[in-house]
Amino acid sequence: MKRIGVFTSGGDAPGMNAAIRAVVRTALYYGLEVKGIMNGYEGLINDEIIDLNSRSVANIIQRGGTILKTSRSEEFRTKEGRAKAAENVRKHGIEALVAIGGDGTFTGAEIFCAESGLTVIGVPGTIDNDLFGTDYTIGFDTAINTAIEAIDKIRDTADSHNRVFFVEVMGRHAGFIALDVGIGGGAEAILIPEEVTDIDQLVGFFTVDKRKAKSFSIVVVAEGDDQGGAFEIANKLKERIPGFDPKVTVLGHIQRGGTPSAYDRLLASRLGSAAVVELLEGETNKMVGIVSNELVLTTFEDAIDKCRPVDRELLKLAQILA
């Protein structure tokens, strides 16, 4: 193997740049040339392919986002689009790809491998932390720290005005962010997609005497909760509880940005470097991950299709501490 390519796809995550840096410098260490694909799968189709060297990735480890940019490609969902992408890969003499992203990225990579015969290794980069085959994904640690910092500030206002605040965090299908942020931020209730939300129970939570006496509360809501987002849940409670006037804050994309934490930089560096080593050892159609601090490989199929459950002990802890 003489030349590899690297790209980022799907939602950006803090630490992606650290992963790109690790891929490039590990590849150079082993005597490989590196091409960078701009704008993910869309860049593969449009031939947005550039040379990368050691200087290309200097001074990026501390930067959020991704220097290679990212996008979602509708054309890549078509067989014709993927054929065009494969043609461009071969035109540039790229023998293997490192794909940094989440489940959508790996879904595309799995199909791409099967149709083109190209070699692809995935690096898990998503703040949702919802991929099977790794304890943590790149960006998760930074995202929860960003959200907790915001909740700490909201708590000051909630305390000053004796208010209940519903804080919505990201997580359309997974509650990992909400659970960690809720416990770390001292929330009185945490609502996640993996657990059915009982509105009657929540009404009781805010109407029993001991709750009436409490000056303020924080409720953390994952955006994908079965009862809806924070606004919808707050409105349902307002209809049920006379005089109840909660405030809602949606943290949104602020959780994706910012300087990556030390842990995310270390994780991204380990996984990016491991991806290159696995390519050299002949692996393909797999994701590198870390389980119990050990590097492991998981097929794209398992990483995407197998469900990574939330920690039941953390759910119990959240109930106890509330």
Rounded to whole angstroms, the Cα distance separating 296 from 284 reads 13
Going by C-alpha positions, the residue among 114, 119, 94 that lies closest to residue 44 is 94
- Asked if residues 266 and 22 have their Cβ atoms less than 8 Å apart, the reply is no
The partner residues of 248 in beta bridges, in order of sequence, read 166
Question: In the numeric block, which tokens belong to residue 70?
Answer: 């990212």
Helix (H) or strand (E) holding 79: helix 79-91
3-state secondary structure of 226: coil
The DSSP string of 96-162 is EEEEEE-HHHHHHHHHHHHHH--EEEEEEB-TT---TT-S--BTHHHHHHHHHHHHHHHHHHHHHHT
Instruction: Report the interhelical angle of 176-184 vs 140-161 (nearest 10°).
Output: 50
The torsion angles phi and psi of 191, rounded to 5 degrees, stand at: -115, 120
The order of strands in the sheet holding 3-8 is 49-52, 33-37, 3-8, 96-101, 119-124, 286-291, 294-299
Of the residues 12, 51, 103, 128, only one is catalytic, namely 128
3-state secondary structure of 65: coil
CA angle 315, 142, 305 (to 5 degrees): 60
- 12 annotated active-site: no
Rounded to whole angstroms, the Cα distance separating 149 from 147 reads 5
The torsion angles phi and psi of 275, rounded to 5 degrees, stand at: -60, -40
Rounded to whole angstroms, the Cα distance separating 86 from 121 reads 15
Task: Tell me the catalytic residues.
Answer: 128
